[in-house]
Amino acid sequence: MKKWTRRKFMEAGLAGSVIAGSGMMNRLPKREAMAAKADRSTAGELTAEEWKALSSVMDEIIPADDGMPAASEVGGVEYLQRLCLSLPGLNDDLKQSLTEADGISHSHFGKSFLALTKSERIQTLVEMEKMKPKLFATLRDYTYEAYYTQPRVWKLMDYTFYPTNESGPKMKPFDESVLAEVRRKPRFYREVE
Amino acid sequence: MMAGERVDVLVIGSGAAGAAVTKRLADLGAKVVCLEQGDWMKPENYPSTKPDYEIALRRGPFHFSPNVRRRPEDYPVVERGKNPPDVLMFNAVGGSTIHYTAHFPRLHPSDFGARTLDGVAEDWPISYHDLEPYYDMNDREMGVAGLAGDPANPPRSPRPTPPLPIGVLGETIGRGFDKLGWYWWVSDNAIISRNYQGRPACDLHGKCMFGCPIGAKASTDVSYWPKALRKGAILKTRARVREITLDARGRVDGALYYDPQGRLFKQAARVVVLCANGIGTPRLLLNSKSRLFPNGLANSSGLVGRNFMIHPFRFLEGVFEKKMYGWEGPFGIPAFSEQFYETDLKRGFVRGYSFLLERSFGPLHQAWGGFVNKPVPWGAEHHRVMRQRFGHIVRVTVLGEDLPEESNRIELDPEVKDSNGIPAPRVIYSYSENSLKILDHGARMGRQALEAAGAIDILDSGIIQPAFHLMGTARMGKDPRKSVVNAWHQSHDVKNLFLVDGSSFTTSGAVNPTCTIGALALRCADGIWERRREWS
C-alpha cells in the first residue's frame, strides 16, 4: 500500500495547478511553497544578520507611508520568528529568499542587501520578483500575513474584528422597499409542461 | 472483525443528505445507524473565533481542501484533467455544511427538464413540484432567512425567519441591477435571523465559512443531528467505511468500517443509504466490487463516477469610492440575480447562470489578492491600493451551470490510498466550451452591473480552478442504461441500496446545491419508508 505521504499529497494537489489561480483559496503560492520545501534539505536557522536583512526586506514590501507603519514596526519580524517555530519549512523559505536577494544585490551592486540604499533595495526586489516569482510571492505573502494579523494595523485601517463570543456589528435591518422595482416585474422562469 | 446489531437503515455520511435522511427516518419510526468518518467539531476551535482566522485559507486543520487540511479522518483526492478541480469538502459531523456559505437557493422548474426544454443533458425523473414540499420541509428543519415573492422563482411558502441585513453593499449593487432593469432578490440563507428551534439568531459577525460557533448557521450538526439523536438515531463517528457488503441474494446487507485504531467492524442493515458526497459516494461504490458486481456496486450502467459536474465560477470585484464594509454581516450571500438563468440561444450558449452578490473576508485575504487573486502591490503603492480596495469592494460572482459529460469523472487512483489503505478517488475534469462561454458572458454582464452600481474599478479573476459543488456521479433517471438510481434514489441494480447527495443530480442547475440535496434526502427517506415491507 502506498502511504498517504506529504509527497503524495503534493502530487495530488499539484497536478495541473497551471490554472490562473483560484483567488478564493489562494492556492498557488502555498502549493508551490510546499513543493519547494519537499525537495530541499533544511537550510538551518536564520542568523541574526539574516533576520536583520529580512526586516529590511519586509519594510520594502510594506513601507511606512500614508500614516501606516512599516512591517517591522508592528512586530512583523517577531511574528515570523514565532511562526518559524510552528511551521515546518518556513525557515527554509525565508532563508532561500534572503540568499536570492543577497545574490542579486551582489551581482547588480557589488554589495550585500543590507548595505544597499533604499532605491537599490527596491531594484533588487523588483529583480527578484521577475526572476523568482514564486519565491518572491511566498516572501510577500508571509509579510502580508505578519502585518495584517496585527490589531494595531486594523485600528489604523478602520477594520473591526468581531469575535464570535461578543456582539457583532450593528446593521440596518433589511428594508423591503429596495425590492419595489423588481416586485413589479412579471414572472421570469420556465415550467416544464 | 466485530459485528453490530442489525438495524433497519444504515446511512453512510452525516452531511446535508445523511443528516436529513437519518432524521426523517427516525421520525417515521425506523431504527437508523449513521456512520461518519469524521468527528464532532468543537465550535470553540473554529477559526472564526480567532483574529487570525484568514490563515485557514492557506493552511491548518480547517482548510477547505482535504489535501491541505490532512486531518486523520480525511482522504486524499487526486486532481487531474485539463482543468483539475481544487476539491473542497469537509469530513465531520455535518460534512461540508461545516464550511459552506449557507446560501440556500432552489433549482428552477426548468432544471428538471433540460432535455425536454433545451435538448441537452437528460431530464430528471422528478419535477420541481415533486420536490417542492420537501424543499419547504428542509427549510423548516434547517432554519432559513429570506423573503418569498421573487418573480424569477416559483412562489414559495413564507420563510421561517425574515431576511438578514444586506447592508450598504447589497443595497448598492441592487440599485445597479435596478438601473439595468434586471431581476435581483434578497437571498434565502440557512442562517437564522431570529431565534429558532433553540438556536440563537445570527449576530452578524461575518465569518460563516470559518465555522459558526453560535449555531446560527445551519450546519447539520446543529440543525438535524440534535433532533435525530433525540429520536433515537445512532451516530457513530470516526467510522470510515471500506465497502458495502452483499448477502447471498445479491442485496446489500451492511458495510464494513474501520475505527480510528484500524479495527474492522461490520454494521448490518436491511437498507443502506449512501450519502458521502459527489466524490465519496462513487468512490465507495467503485471500492465495493464483488463477483456479482465486478465493476463496482450499482454500476451496470457504467455511469458510477461519470458525468461529474462542478459549478464553474468567475469572480468580479467592483471597487467603490464609498465604504461597503464587506466583512460585516453574515457571509452567506446577501442577494442574488437570476437574470441570465434560463436559456436564450442568442447569447451563444445553452442554459445559464446566477449572479451571487457577495461580501468579502478581512484585510489579509484582501492583501493576498481577494477572490480575484490580484494581490495588492508591494512597495510604495501598497497602502494607497490597500486603502482603495479594502472595505470598498462588492463582489459579483458568476455561478454557471455545468452540463454532464461522461469524460468528467471520478475513478479510483491505482496508487494513492487513504490511511486505512482504501483507494483514493481521482477526479478528472475539463471545462466544456459551453461553460467557458457562460463564464465569459457572465463576466461581461457582471461588469455592466458593477458599473451601473457606480464601481470605479473592476477586478476580474478570469478563469479559475473549479472548486465548489460536487454533483452528478450517480445520477437519477428513469432509464437504467442512462442513470444509476431511479426517482426514489433506489439503485437500479440493488433494490435495498439508495444513493442520495450531490451525486444524484441529473443536471447541476446554476445555484448552490445544498438546499436541493437536503430536499432530495427527505424525499428519499419517505420513499424508503413507504417501501418498508420490501425490506429484507
Contacts of A123 by beta carbon, 8 Å cutoff, 6+ apart: A108
Touching check for A118 and chain B: CB below 8 Å? Answer: no
Phi, psi of B270, rounded to the nearest 5 degrees:
-80, -35
Instruction: Say if the Cβ atoms of B178 and A181 lie within 8 Å.
Output: yes
Helix (H) or strand (E) holding B2: strand B2-3
Rg of chain A on CA atoms, in Å: 23
Mean pLDDT for chain A overall: 82
Task: Say which range, A4-18, B15-29, B199-213, B515-529, has the weakest mean pLDDT.
Answer: A4-18
Dump pLDDT digits (tens) for B132-153.
Answer: 999 999 999 999 999 999 999 9
Q: Å from B331 to nearest chain A CA? A: 13
pLDDT-derived band at B196 (thresholds 50, 70, 90) equals very high
pLDDT-derived band at A166 (thresholds 50, 70, 90) equals confident
Sign of CA dihedral B210, B211, B212, B214: negative
Q: Which of B415, B419, B423, B89 is nearest to B288 (CA)?
A: B423
- Chain mean position to CA B484: 20
Q: Is residue A153 part of a domain?
A: yes
Task: Say which range, A162-176, B177-191, B336-350, has the weakest mean pLDDT.
Answer: A162-176
Does residue A18 share a domain with residue A2? yes
Does residue A89 share a domain with residue A106? yes
Instruction: Say if the Cβ atoms of B113 and A164 lie within 8 Å.
Output: no
Spatial contact of B484 and B304, defined as CB atoms under 8 Å apart: yes
Does residue A19 share a domain with residue A59? no
Residues 124-153 of A with CB under 8 A from B: 125, 137, 140-141, 143-145, 147-149, 151, 153
Spatial contact of B59 and B68, defined as CB atoms under 8 Å apart: yes
Furthest C-alpha separation in chain A? 78
| Contact residues on chain B for A175, CB-CB shorter than 8 A | 171
**DSSP 8-state code for residue B467:** -
Q: Is residue A131 part of a domain?
A: yes
Touching check for A189 and chain B: CB below 8 Å? Answer: yes
Q: Is residue A188 part of a domain?
A: no
State which amino acid sits at residue B217. Answer: K
Instruction: Say if the Cβ atoms of B341 and A173 lie within 8 Å.
Output: no
| C-alpha span between B234 and B89 (Å, rounded) | 23
Query: Which of B83, B205, B369 is the closest to A19 by Cβ?
Result: B83
pLDDT of B47 strictly over 60: yes
Touching check for B70 and chain A: CB below 8 Å? Answer: yes
Residue in B with minimal Cα distance to A27: B58
Q: Is residue A135 part of a domain?
A: yes
Query: Which of A22, A25, A171 is the closest to B329 by Cβ?
Result: A171
Q: Is residue A120 part of a domain?
A: yes
Q: Could you tell me the CA-to-CA distances from B1 to B76, B240, B310, B417 in Å, in that order? A: 26, 14, 38, 21
**Whole-number pLDDT of residue A57:** 98
Work out how many domains chain A is built from and give that number. 2
Does residue A48 share a domain with residue A98? yes
Q: Å from A107 to nearest chain B CA? A: 22
Helix (H) or strand (E) holding B230: helix B224-230
Residues 330-349 of B with CB under 8 A from A: 338, 341-342
Does residue A56 share a domain with residue A20? no
Phi, psi of B464, rounded to the nearest 5 degrees:
-115, 170
| C-alpha span between B81 and B441 (Å, rounded) | 24
Strand partners, B78: B426
Instruction: Using DSSP, state whether B34 is helix, strand or coil.
Output: strand
| C-alpha span between A66 and A33 (Å, rounded) | 32
| Contact residues on chain B for A20, CB-CB shorter than 8 A | 373, 461-464
Q: Which of A148, A160, A162, A177 to probe the B interface (max B CBs under 10 A)?
A: A148
Does residue A143 share a domain with residue A48? yes
pLDDT of B2 strictly over 80: no
Question: Grid coordinates 536564520 are at which residue?
Answer: A46
Question: Grid coordinates 468580479 are at which residue?
Answer: B316
Q: Is residue A174 part of a domain?
A: no
Touching check for A15 and chain B: CB below 8 Å? Answer: yes
Query: Which of A24, A149, A182 is the closest to B364 by Cβ?
Result: A149
Spatial contact of B416 and A4, defined as CB atoms under 8 Å apart: yes
| C-alpha span between A23 and A64 (Å, rounded) | 27
Residue B346 burial (C-beta neighbours within 10 Å; 0-12, 13-18, 19+): exposed
Q: Is residue A26 part of a domain?
A: yes
Residue in B with minimal Cα distance to A136: B378
**Whole-number pLDDT of residue B377:** 98
Touching check for B171 and chain A: CB below 8 Å? Answer: yes
| Contact residues on chain B for A176, CB-CB shorter than 8 A | 147
**Whole-number pLDDT of residue A44:** 61
Instruction: Say if the Cβ atoms of B315 and A8 lie within 8 Å.
Output: no
Question: Grid coordinates 460536487 are at which residue?
Answer: B470
Dump pLDDT digits (tens) for A59-118.
Answer: 999 999 989 999 999 999 999 999 999 998 999 999 999 999 999 999 999 999 999 999
| Contact residues on chain B for A179, CB-CB shorter than 8 A | 147, 149, 174, 185-186
Does residue A142 share a domain with residue A91? yes
Q: Å from A125 to nearest chain B CA? A: 10
Touching check for B214 and chain A: CB below 8 Å? Answer: yes
| Contact residues on chain B for A15, CB-CB shorter than 8 A | 78-80, 84
Touching check for B106 and chain A: CB below 8 Å? Answer: no
Instruction: Say if the Cβ atoms of A23 and B342 lie within 8 Å.
Output: no
Does residue A26 share a domain with residue A51? no
pLDDT-derived band at B536 (thresholds 50, 70, 90) equals low
Provide the pairing of β-strand B497-499 with B252-258.
unpaired
Contacts of B440 by beta carbon, 8 Å cutoff, 6+ apart: none
Rg of chain B on CA atoms, in Å: 22
| Contact residues on chain A for B368, CB-CB shorter than 8 A | 26, 141, 144
Touching check for B374 and chain A: CB below 8 Å? Answer: yes
Q: Is residue A169 part of a domain?
A: no
* ipTM associated with this complex: 0.95
Does residue A51 share a domain with residue A6? no
Dump pLDDT digits (tens) for B301-310.
Answer: 999 999 999 9
Instruction: Using DSSP, state whether B209 is helix, strand or coil.
Output: helix
| Contact residues on chain A for B81, CB-CB shorter than 8 A | 16
Query: Which of B165, B371, B421 is the closest to A24 by Cβ?
Result: B371
Does residue A33 share a domain with residue A48? no
Mean pLDDT of B484-506: 98
Does residue A115 share a domain with residue A92? yes
Residue in A with minimal Cα distance to B342: A189
Domains of chain B listed by start with CATH number: 2-534 (3.50.50.60)
State which amino acid sits at residue B425. Answer: P
Instruction: Say if the Cβ atoms of B328 and A162 lie within 8 Å.
Output: yes
Dump pLDDT digits (tens) for B84-125.
Answer: 999 999 999 999 999 999 999 999 999 999 999 999 999 999
Dump pLDDT digits (tens) for B429-470.
Answer: 999 999 999 999 999 999 999 999 999 999 999 999 999 999
Touching check for B506 and chain A: CB below 8 Å? Answer: no
| C-alpha span between B199 and A191 (Å, rounded) | 36
Q: Which of B514, B532, B442 is nearest to B32 (CA)?
A: B532
Length of chain B: 536
Residue B280: how many other CB atoms lie within 10 Å: 28
Instruction: Say if the Cβ atoms of B109 and A186 lie within 8 Å.
Output: no
Mean pLDDT for chain B overall: 97
pLDDT of B197 strictly over 60: yes
Q: Which of B269, B210, B211 is nearest to B236 (CA)?
A: B269
Does residue A141 share a domain with residue A104? yes
Mean pLDDT of B263-289: 98
Backbone angle region of B449, left / alpha / beta, with phi > 0 → left and psi within -120 to 50 → alpha: alpha
Touching check for A89 and chain B: CB below 8 Å? Answer: no
Residue in B with minimal Cα distance to A14: B79
Three-state SS for chain A is CCCCCHHHHHHHHHCCCCCCCCCCCCHHHHHHHHHHHHCCCCCCCCCHHHHHHHHHHHHHHCCCECCECCHHHHCHHHHHHHHHHHCCCHHHHHHHHHHHHHHHHHHHHCCCHHHCCHHHHHHHHHHHHHHCHHHHHHHHHHHHHHHHCCHHHHHHHCCCCCCCCCCCCCCCCCCHHHHHHHHCCCCCCCCCC
| Contact residues on chain A for B380, CB-CB shorter than 8 A | 63, 65
Domain membership of residue A30 as a residue range: 1-39
Dump pLDDT digits (tens) for B309-368.
Answer: 999 999 999 999 999 999 999 988 999 999 999 999 999 999 999 999 999 999 999 999
